[in-house]
Structure 1
Amino acid sequence: MDVADERPAIERRALARGAFYETQARTMIEKVPATAGITERWAVSPYRGCAHACRGCGARRPHRGLGLDAGRDFDTRIVVKANAAPRLRAELTRWQGEPVAIGVGGDCYQEAELTYHLMPPLIAALAEAGVPFTVYTKSPLVLRDAALLRSAGARVAVSIAFVDEQIRRAVEPGAPTAQRRLELVAALAEAGVECRVLMAPVLPLL
């Protein structure tokens, strides 16, 4: 008698490497949820889940479709789209040039990027296709690719909702401090990268 495999769906189809699940994405350009609050209608997310562990992150819900929970699993069990660059290049051959966002499903410069280096080839693919794009991140690691981003004419949007460190630790426990993000904005501007600041999320009564 066969025993049912009760592992989460993602564990049945991905290669587990520590806290990372390596997958082969079937598609890279995805529709942005209406609740995301950004101007782009389409997004590219090389990672799903995010070690920044921001409590109000709108990208949490899709983790449930992987058989994981939208709480602790979203913060600690990161899905890596290992074939992100070639898959994106294939899709861009028939793309009409509409702007895209990068990093909606999880910060594209979170700690996983130190291991997988998915962003440089994604930036190159979008630049070669002439597609305008905005990178959404809280991480100073984006500075590693400042020259590539500047050359591609990309924009970087850094969210800084508050500067109170006590609130930051409670709401965004894994994210860089507000001070580091303010310094990141200055560094990006100095490097010639167009940078925007997002005052989000708005937390009433705080």
Structure 2
Amino acid sequence: MRTLGRGALSNEVGRFERYGRVCESDGWDNDPDLPLLRTDVAFETARSLITYNRSPDLPFDRSINPYRGCEHGCVYCFARPTHAYLGLSPGLDFETRLVARPNAVDVLRSELSARRYKVAPIAIGTNTDPYQPIEKTHRITRACLEVLADFGHPVAIVTKGALIERDLDILAPMAARGLVRVGISLTTLDADLSRRMEPRAPAPKRRLAMIRVLTDAGVPVRLMTSPLVPGLTDHEMEALLAAGAEAGADTASWIMLRLPREVSQLWQEWLAEHVPNRAAKVMTRLREMHGGRDYDPRWGHRMRGEGQYAEMMAQRFRTACKRLGLAQQAPALRCDLFRVPAQAGDQLSLF
């Protein structure tokens, strides 16, 4: 199989597997007649949908993910290790063997209707992109948004996918009620570098156009300069923020490159293949921020690292945001509009 248009360069088994897997070239790797590695979609019956977290690093305590795996193929994606829980590889499997959850909308409606449920903003897209290409066919994200709109439930969406523009008929009315905010991730303005790091995500110019379309429709957008890669994209921070502000974003955030578990090996393979002259610098900078390790998972450290370099990047971000008029904290979404819609057979209110 040819892996043209994929981010990962290997497909090592996940950390829970008993046996490893070794691929050996037979000399036919570049044969143009070999079939391309295609995307396969399996289906899962979800028993629950809302996932809760207690991380002090995150501005939300709950999220939903309509899909497992992500076809965008971003080689640096911190969510890749979650595919190991399925017995699949965080490498090529993560971006080619996807799982859709077609009953997600029914489960979500049930969970929101529970008497014990207490409303707070739900995040969508924190693990895998809700607007990756398979959403065009399966429309699970759209169905979940329809439920959230019916309930008057606040939602924060993170995506790189231009397909979000399809759902403006839902998002714009929700935004007018203070119920939605969208985060657009922009890692670089270099189209060639983006194509290699994020092979199936929209190009940088297309993502900036998405910001303009959303903000013109009244949907507030946060520009996410994430992840910043030391020694590779860190010099673009100010340019990324300026481009996002010009496109209409009113808020911005940043996260340093994270390499949990299997992501470190996949990332270093990518560096050696695509930017071998930068590989040593990138990894040295990362290890400086994580006490000599590729990654430090501790709360309060994992998102941005520590030390002089990390503080310099934080100062550059604060200075640029102040100059560009970008807020670093968005206004709170409304929670007071939440209501469980009346269902067939419900007793009507007297008032």
Common fold by TM > 0.5? yes
Q: 1:40 to 1:130 in 2, by over 3 A?
A: same
Q: 1:186 to 1:163 in 2, by over 3 A?
A: same
RMSD of the alignment, in Å? 1.8
Which amino acid in structure 2 is aligned with residue 204 of structure 1?
A: P
Which amino acid in structure 2 is aligned with residue 29 of structure 1?
A: I
1:144 aligns with 2:170: no
Which amino acid in structure 2 is aligned with residue 52 of structure 1?
A: H
Q: 1:32 to 1:112 in 2, by over 3 A?
A: farther
Instruction: Report runs of 4+ in structure 1 exceeding 4 Å deviation.
Output: 32-35
Return the alpha-carbon distance in structure 2 between the equivalents of residues 125 and 38 of structure 1.
24
Q: 1:62 to 1:91 in 2, by over 3 A?
A: same
1:42 aligns with 2:62: yes
3-state SS, counterpart of residue 136 of structure 1: strand
1:134 aligns with 2:134: no
1:183 aligns with 2:209: yes
Structure 1 regions of 5+ residues with no counterpart?
1-7, 9-17
Deviations 1:60-87 (A, max 9, x none): 1111010101010011111101101000
Q: 1:33 to 1:162 in 2, by over 3 A?
A: farther
Structure 2 regions of 5+ residues with no counterpart?
1-13, 15-38, 233-351
Q: 1:115 to 1:161 in 2, by over 3 A?
A: same
Return the alpha-carbon distance in structure 2 between the equivalents of residues 165 and 38 of structure 1.
29
Return the alpha-carbon distance in structure 1 between the equivalents of residues 218 and 193 of structure 2.
31
Return the alpha-carbon distance in structure 1 between the equivalents of residues 53 and 86 of structure 2.
18
1:79 is aligned to 99
Asked if 2 retains the 8 angstrom alpha-carbon contact of 1:123 and 1:152, the reply is: no
**Pick aligned residue for 2:223 from 173, 197, 200:** 197
1:57 is aligned to 77
Deviations 1:17-71 (A, max 9, x none): x710111111110135849x64222111101110111111121111101010101
Cα deviation, residue 190, structure 1: 1.1
Q: 1:177 to 1:34 in 2, by over 3 A?
A: farther
**Pick aligned residue for 1:165 from 187, 191, 196:** 191
Which amino acid in structure 2 is aligned with residue 30 of structure 1?
A: T
1:31 is aligned to 52
3-state SS, counterpart of residue 79 of structure 1: strand
3-state SS, counterpart of residue 166 of structure 1: helix
Asked if 2 retains the 8 angstrom alpha-carbon contact of 1:45 and 1:104, the reply is: yes
Return the alpha-carbon distance in structure 2 between the equivalents of residues 62 and 33 of structure 1.
18
Which amino acid in structure 1 is aligned with residue 183 of structure 2?
A: A
Asked if 1 retains the 8 angstrom alpha-carbon contact of 2:158 and 2:184, the reply is: yes
**Pick aligned residue for 2:111 from 81, 86, 91:** 91
Q: Using CA pairs under 8 Å that are at least 6 residues apart, name the structure with larger relative contact order, 1 or 2.
A: 1
Asked if 2 retains the 8 angstrom alpha-carbon contact of 1:150 and 1:194, the reply is: no
Deviations 1:67-112 (A, max 9, x none): 1010100111111011010000011113211111112231111111
3-state SS, counterpart of residue 189 of structure 1: helix
Cα deviation, residue 162, structure 1: 1.1
1:3 is aligned to none
Return the alpha-carbon distance in structure 1 between the equivalents of residues 158 and 54 of structure 2.
15
What percent identity do the matched residue pairs reach?
36
Return the alpha-carbon distance in structure 2 between the equivalents of residues 104 and 24 of structure 1.
20
TM-score normalized with structure 2 length? 0.51
Q: 1:33 to 1:186 in 2, by over 3 A?
A: farther
3-state SS, counterpart of residue 158 of structure 1: strand
Return the alpha-carbon distance in structure 2 between the equivalents of residues 31 and 204 of structure 1.
31
Return the alpha-carbon distance in structure 2 between the equivalents of residues 32 and 178 of structure 1.
31
Give aligned pairs, total.
189
3-state SS, counterpart of residue 127 of structure 2: coil
Return the alpha-carbon distance in structure 1 between the equivalents of residues 213 and 164 of structure 2.
10
2:267 is aligned to none
Return the alpha-carbon distance in structure 1 between the equivalents of residues 230 and 46 of structure 2.
37
Q: 1:34 to 1:87 in 2, by over 3 A?
A: same
Asked if 2 retains the 8 angstrom alpha-carbon contact of 1:30 and 1:44, the reply is: yes
